[in-house]
Structure 1
Amino acid sequence: MRKLSWFNKVMYFFNIVLTLLTVFAYLLPFMAPRLFPILSVFTLVLPLMLVFNFLFFIYWLFQAKRQMLLSGLILLLGITFVNKFFKFSSTTLPDAADDVTLMSYNVRLFNLYEWLPDNDIAQKIPAFVKEKNPDIVCLQEYNKVGDNSFSQYKYSYIFSPKGQTGQAIFSYFPIINRGSIEFPESANNAIYADIKRGNDTLRIYSMHLQSIKISPDIHENIDEEKSKLIFRRISNAFEKQQLQADLVEKHKSECPYAMVICGDLNNSAFSYVYRSIRGDMNDAFEEAGGGFGKSYNYKYYPARIDYFFADEKLEVKEFNTFSNFVNSDHFPIMTRLNFIKDKE
């Protein structure tokens, strides 16, 4: 430390502070939001912390300083977090006749309130689904604007409680059972459908957890009062999400079939809620995705808040995010799965 210039001493001080904050952020997915609602907000900036740790590592490396070990160790300890944020390459396994393709998409009411200037989004979204032709499609923030627009699917389950924003599952395969999980004091919900494909039965959960109600243009005109309001809003939403995640976790623990969970969790892959709902299932993006997997249309940050979690009995053969299809505040995600024969 004595051999460092005054500037490097300052840099190293900030490096140490960043390291401590990053370690704390690593622990947050194991801490219930209702116990630390304000602190849970830090999970949203963990990717940024990883980026700064990498920059510090490069900074010290170019100077051949041993201080590079600090951020290097932090990055090594958090390698699983890095994989949740960015994948250098995707994986695509060969097609098989019995593969199942699934799409999940928060359609934002098919632009009912004209958030976007296009007036034909209610036609564009069904056309996109028809083009990609998934075997099963799960739509969040669905409403009756979409009725009769997905007629290629013989089987469907549409759930819109009391005329509120709902969800829908469309399938080429028979739906033999279906239901919903109501979330207390919330317009959000989860639905499920047991789908028969040959001799296999697959349960599909589609969910939309509590929104943090932060718009993509939140960076504009932020003052201190607005910042405090945003902070409280996010922490309150995380508390509600924990309750909702607990309800989903209990429900899925009683399921006798292989499962796929998909939808809009409104939270990052570094959160308690993500960890709780995922459980021991595989994140399709981690298994086969590439890049950032951005699923929310926020201009300055590659937010991934829409997911596919696949049962360990299922092999993830492909995963895609369609970030060029801008007809909602979310992007469609799609995966291709198959049963692992020796685990059936």
Structure 2
Amino acid sequence: MKIFRIILFILHLGLLFLLTGVLLNAYIPPKIFPWLNLLSLGFPILVIGYIMLTFFWIFSWKKRAFVFMFMGLFFLNPVKRWVNYSSESKETANLKIVSFNMKSGKKGIDKIKDYLEQKNADIIFIQEENGQLKLNNLEGEYSLPVIRLYSKYKIVSRKNLFENLSDTDITSQCEQIDLEIKGKIYRVFNVHLQSFGVVKSMVKLNGSSEEDEKKVKNIVKKLIPTFKSHQEQVKIIRESIDNSPYPVIVAGDFNAVPNSYEYYKTSEGLKDAFYEVGRGSGTSFHDYKYPLRIDYIFTSESIKPVTYKVDHSVNLSDHFPVVATFKID
């Protein structure tokens, strides 16, 4: 039994080390050490393992349980970016936003159209749009491949942020749009960071050690270069946010999980609406049956989140729609 506990203790220290590595994504970019970003994908598993071992030490009446409980406090905020149970906001919302990757409408353009019109949102950020979506109650100019913004408000100006980005593909799109909302200008960013090009067949292991090993290596070969491309794309977005003379709203499909470099860099100085007012699971991509939150809405401090919901009740894409409300002055 003593040897067994020593093994568990070493395992627990290992999990603590790996979880700490995930937090370092806030400081170390993928071009320097991309493996930390890769580690962020396993954060839910690492946390669950850490919690289970902590309870083991508690039930074993070991003093080390208090040490691991104390160290676990450092991971409360990172966990809240995945699963959150915030208190209900007392603010009254006057702005409704929907962000949705519709996967080119493969599950039915008409169903998507009906759903979005029923939501009666003020602004809708769409990713992976194929030019077929027409909404009756909103204006939506098709200006860039992959993404489109629909709005009840006047568009003052728009800019393709990735226009001069050479190391990218068509899945990488970001549009900066200035909107006049209630007599005030707001700068919004509709984001779709570069896709990894990973499909179900690539991640499904079949039990053959040689073939499974080859699959894992192929996946890593796709992930690492994409992390590095994301760094360049996020840098452009970050500079535009920092230089904005107006309050900003940044929404879309980042193809990056919470606690990743992309998340930390983009959210600097901004509010993550899910972290502020979200409840339950933030999982927005459901194709792989693994908790992946990759769709976000970030806002300036002056824009107050009131509600945030990942609508798990609809199956219109491999993403769930994100619906949030805000209070603006």
The yes-or-no answer on 1:223 pairing with 2:202 is no
The corresponding residue for 2:29 is 32
What pairs with 1:223-302 in structure 2 (closer than 5 Å)?
A: 223-302=212-291
Q: Following the alignment from structure 1 to structure 2, what is the Cα–Cα distance between the partners of residues 95 and 216? A: 42
Could you give the per-residue CA deviations for residues 51-104 of structure 1, whole angstroms, max 9, x where no partner exists? 1111111111111111213431331122211211211345344535xx110110
Q: Following the alignment from structure 2 to structure 1, what is the Cα–Cα distance between the partners of residues 289 and 198? A: 14
Deviation, structure 1 residue 108: 1.0
The yes-or-no answer on 1:151 pairing with 2:148 is no
Which residue identity lines up with residue 9 of structure 2 in the other structure?
Answer: Y
Which residue identity lines up with residue 296 of structure 1 in the other structure?
Answer: F
The verdict on how the C-alpha distance between 1:257 and 1:324 changes in structure 2, with shifts beyond 3 A counting, is: same
Is contact 1:285–1:319 with CA below 8 Å preserved after alignment? yes
Which residue identity lines up with residue 108 of structure 1 in the other structure?
Answer: K
- The DSSP-based 3-state class of the residue aligned with 1:223 is helix
Is contact 1:212–1:234 with CA below 8 Å preserved after alignment? yes
- The DSSP-based 3-state class of the residue aligned with 1:212 is coil
Deviation, structure 1 residue 269: 1.1
Which residue identity lines up with residue 104 of structure 1 in the other structure?
Answer: S
Which residue identity lines up with residue 109 of structure 2 in the other structure?
Answer: A
Is contact 2:101–2:319 with CA below 8 Å preserved after alignment? yes
Q: Following the alignment from structure 1 to structure 2, what is the Cα–Cα distance between the partners of residues 33 and 42? A: 11
Deviation, structure 1 residue 166: 2.2
Is contact 2:248–2:300 with CA below 8 Å preserved after alignment? yes
Select which of 37, 41, 44 maps to 1:44.
Answer: 41
The corresponding residue for 1:207 is 191
Deviation, structure 1 residue 300: 3.1
Q: Following the alignment from structure 2 to structure 1, what is the Cα–Cα distance between the partners of residues 247 and 307? A: 18
What pairs with 1:44-63 in structure 2 (closer than 5 Å)?
A: 44-63=41-60
The corresponding residue for 1:186 is 169
The corresponding residue for 1:115 is none
- The DSSP-based 3-state class of the residue aligned with 2:132 is helix
The verdict on how the C-alpha distance between 1:126 and 1:93 changes in structure 2, with shifts beyond 3 A counting, is: farther
The corresponding residue for 2:147 is 167
Select which of 9, 30, 46 maps to 2:6.
Answer: 9
Is contact 2:92–2:327 with CA below 8 Å preserved after alignment? no
Is contact 1:91–1:287 with CA below 8 Å preserved after alignment? no
Deviation, structure 1 residue 330: 0.8
Query: Any stretches of 5+ residues in structure 1 without a counterpart?
Result: 112-117
Q: Following the alignment from structure 2 to structure 1, what is the Cα–Cα distance between the partners of residues 324 and 304? A: 10
Aligned residue-pair number: 320
Is contact 2:270–2:300 with CA below 8 Å preserved after alignment? yes
Deviation, structure 1 residue 306: 0.3
The verdict on how the C-alpha distance between 1:300 and 1:69 changes in structure 2, with shifts beyond 3 A counting, is: farther
List structure 1 runs of 4+ shifted beyond 4 angstroms: none
TM-score, normalization by structure 2: 0.92
Q: Following the alignment from structure 2 to structure 1, what is the Cα–Cα distance between the partners of residues 5 and 174? A: 51
Q: Following the alignment from structure 2 to structure 1, what is the Cα–Cα distance between the partners of residues 205 and 149? A: 36
Deviation, structure 1 residue 105: 0.5
Is contact 1:216–1:297 with CA below 8 Å preserved after alignment? no
Deviation, structure 1 residue 46: 1.7
Which residue identity lines up with residue 18 of structure 2 in the other structure?
Answer: L
The verdict on how the C-alpha distance between 1:124 and 1:93 changes in structure 2, with shifts beyond 3 A counting, is: farther
Q: Following the alignment from structure 1 to structure 2, what is the Cα–Cα distance between the partners of residues 50 and 298? A: 22
The corresponding residue for 1:114 is none
Q: Following the alignment from structure 1 to structure 2, what is the Cα–Cα distance between the partners of residues 328 and 202? A: 29
Is contact 1:156–1:175 with CA below 8 Å preserved after alignment? no
Aligned-residue CA RMSD in angstroms? 1.7
Q: Following the alignment from structure 1 to structure 2, what is the Cα–Cα distance between the partners of residues 54 and 70? A: 13
The yes-or-no answer on 1:104 pairing with 2:110 is no
Taking only the aligned residue pairs, the percentage that are identical comes to: 24
Which residue identity lines up with residue 27 of structure 1 in the other structure?
Answer: L
Q: Following the alignment from structure 1 to structure 2, what is the Cα–Cα distance between the partners of residues 213 and 66? A: 47
Which residue identity lines up with residue 118 of structure 2 in the other structure?
Answer: E
Q: Following the alignment from structure 1 to structure 2, what is the Cα–Cα distance between the partners of residues 192 and 77? A: 35
Q: Following the alignment from structure 1 to structure 2, what is the Cα–Cα distance between the partners of residues 215 and 70? A: 41
The corresponding residue for 2:113 is 126
Q: Following the alignment from structure 2 to structure 1, what is the Cα–Cα distance between the partners of residues 219 and 280? A: 29
Could you give the per-residue CA deviations for residues 203-222 of structure 1, whole angstroms, max 9, x where no partner exists? 11110001122235623436
Query: Any stretches of 5+ residues in structure 2 without a counterpart?
Result: none
- The DSSP-based 3-state class of the residue aligned with 1:194 is strand
Deviation, structure 1 residue 17: 1.7
